[in-house]
Amino acid sequence: MGIIELNQLSKFYGKAKGIENVTLEVNEGEIFGFIGPNGAGKSTTIRTMMGLIFPTSGSAKIFDMDCSKEGPKIRQEVGYLPSEVFYYDKMKVLDLLKYTAGFYQKDCDARMYELAEIMELDLKKRIEDLSYGNKKKVGIVQGLLHSPKLIVLDEPTSGLDPLMQKKFFDIILEENKKGATVFFSSHILSEVQALCNRVAIIKDGVIIKVDDIKSMREDNYKKITLRGLQIDQEKYKLEGVTHIINGEDSFKFFYKGDINQITKQIGNDNLLDVLIEEPTLEEIFMHYYK
């Protein structure tokens, strides 16, 4: 049984498609990345999982419970950080966090103070006096103070400065080491690459790929850079060669196929240098969205 199980999940807003036939399984202990550009359907998927909106068809289960029917029970063990955080502006940070802690059937005080200290959050301030980034920090502490079994993060790092992002990722990794499963949406690929074990790519409401980060980088493409003044570029018009970029004394391309074939070709050229690398996730992602 997966911690999250989405089966043919669709959500239409009237006639407008939010997501269509999303099927995914997230296993216990994974850090799972959910990536896609703006409007791809990430928040729709997550809101359906959290029982905040209802699916048009299909099912979403967390801990083997139906998200539409058992929302309150599921939420006891889920920490959710929405993409946009809205608050009771007049409340003080501490009062809001205590109010949140009151929803859980466990004592959250120690962890709450600990997280607030790590995130350098001023508990005495009113919400309305906080910057956007500091409001986001309140959301993070709110989402994690009950040490949930599943952490669901919808674009969590927007608004955080790099130092805070690092602290936040350290907290997430620590929670994961303690056993929490993490589901994490983002359009920033480097952070997904740094944090996640597996990733799903969503485009126009449809999942186009689910893979582990390692094989996604290794199995697909090689990024090849050749340096030299007399490279016969015509000879590289081969099957599997794409994304060609011509520089002054360099020639770059992506290659997918038999590595012997391409190295044979490279061996025929008089080169100053050659670099064969794994593409970054960013580059792979661009391929899927071209």
Ligand X SMILES: Nc1ncnc2c1ncn2[C@@H]1O[C@H](COP(=O)(O)OP(=O)(O)OP(=O)(O)O)[C@@H](O)[C@H]1O
- How many of the chain's residues bind ligand X (CB under 6 A)? 13
Least Å from the CB of residue 155 to ligand X: 6
By CB under 6 A, residue 1 contacts ligand X: no
Least Å from the CB of residue 25 to ligand X: 20
SS3 57: strand
Of 5, 20, 33, 41, the one binding ligand X (CB under 6 A) is 41
∠ CA 215-199-149, rounded to 5°: 125
Q: Look up residue 46 and give its two tokens.
A: 């997550």
Instruction: Tell which positions 180-219 bind ligand X, by CB under 6 A.
Output: 187
Burial 246-256 (b: 16+ CB within 10 A, else e): eeeeebebbbe
Of the ranges 38-46, 62-70, 130-138, 230-238, which one interacts with ligand X (CB under 6 A)?
38-46
As to burial, measured by CB atoms within 10 angstroms (0-12 exposed, 13-18 middle, 19+ buried), residue 87 is: middle
Of 83, 176, 225, 280, the one binding ligand X (CB under 6 A) is 83
Q: Which residue has the tokens 């999940």?
A: 9
SS3 153: strand
Which of 39/133 has CB closer to ligand X? Answer: 39
Which of 17/287 has CB closer to ligand X? Answer: 17
Distance of alpha carbon 284 from alpha carbon 279, whole angstroms: 7
By CB under 6 A, residue 289 contacts ligand X: no
By CB under 6 A, residue 156 contacts ligand X: no
Instruction: Tell which positions 3-22 bind ligand X, by CB under 6 A.
Output: 13, 16, 18
Of the ranges 32-40, 59-67, 119-127, 264-272, which one interacts with ligand X (CB under 6 A)?
32-40
By CB under 6 A, residue 38 contacts ligand X: yes
Residue 95 Cα to chain centre, angstroms: 31
Distance of alpha carbon 56 from alpha carbon 214, whole angstroms: 34
By CB under 6 A, residue 40 contacts ligand X: yes
Q: Look up residue 166 and give its two tokens.
A: 């690092």
Spatial contact of 90 and 53, defined as CB atoms under 8 Å apart: no
Least Å from the CB of residue 171 to ligand X: 23
By CB under 6 A, residue 60 contacts ligand X: no
203: which strand partners? 206
Binding footprint of ligand X on the chain (CB under 6 A): 13, 16, 18, 36, 38-44, 83, 187
